[in-house]
Structure 1
Amino acid sequence: MSTTQSERLRELLEPLVKSQGLDLEEIVVESVGRKRVLRVVVDSDTGADLDQIADVSRALSAKLDESDAMGQGAYDLEVGTPGAERLLEEHRHFARAVDRLVRFQLAEDGELVARILTVDDEGLDLEVPGVKGRKATTRRLLFPEITRARVQVEFNRKDKKDMTEEEEA
């Protein structure tokens, strides 16, 4: 049975990433011009700070140097966290996105943009923003109804503290 290079790399690197208290989210090997680049994406429930990224990067580099998983050619190792508009694919991704605005592609109802309120084993409770002065509504969405979900960047969102202070004024 043949395994891809990404699968072999995942088997080699995932235990090391887990030992650093992080989840291995993605491994991508790309050719960029004449160079190869190994991109490793890590995350955790509390996020990953620069010190954690540096520590896991050094550990991964040492592990790769002692193995032949990348072959003999030169490559660059890039370790980072998921981007701001990350795709949500696993249960833990949805749980980490609680209180975030997400664009959902639905199996039957088209598209929906809503804020994740809670996550359980079956699905999500959402707050759907009101349109044209209407109040926000809540909606239950089950995981099988979701074909794709991506976190949305919000530039002007007021946090709960700001909204409470305004309501009191």
Structure 2
Amino acid sequence: MVWPMGEEAEVAIRTARVDDAASIARVHIASWQQAYEGIVPADYLRALDPADRTERWATDLRNAERDGVRTWVADDGGRILGFASVGPARDEDASREQEEIYSMYLDPTMWGKGVARDLMRTVLNAVRSGTPVSLWVLAANERARHFYRRHGFTPDGSERMEEFGGAPLLEVRLRRG
């Protein structure tokens, strides 16, 4: 999918490649630092390491086909603006056919410009019709929860505590379909 971005740039949603790992890591860290400010401890956010995150993304992208994970990036031809990943649901109570959105992050300068909407549409179009899709979101991340509600995701009652930088934070599971 390609859509105009102002007068000069267009954004394409395409399958991620291993050589996108550093750009995905950059977006991942910038998004976390902005979106989770005041939610996740500041020391943890400041300590996010681009080299470590790049290596993790490169490994994930190399293993994607084996693991059944699909990742897309929003690319304006000069830089990666965002990314999203979906694959088999990892929860104990998930059925075999259920999918899970593992990640969806944007460069904070792209928030509110339609890039996330197009990434979400790409993800949902890639999932077999009628397949339930779940995701986990920090309960305190109202911006993300609102975005997911607009795309048909609702809380299913499952919650878990995850630790980030020594702080236990509540995550809620959302489901669609």
Question: Could you tell me the TM-score, scaled by structure 2's length?
Answer: 0.28
Whichever structure has more helix as a proportion of its residues is 2
Please, what TM-score do these two structures have when normalized by structure 1? 0.29
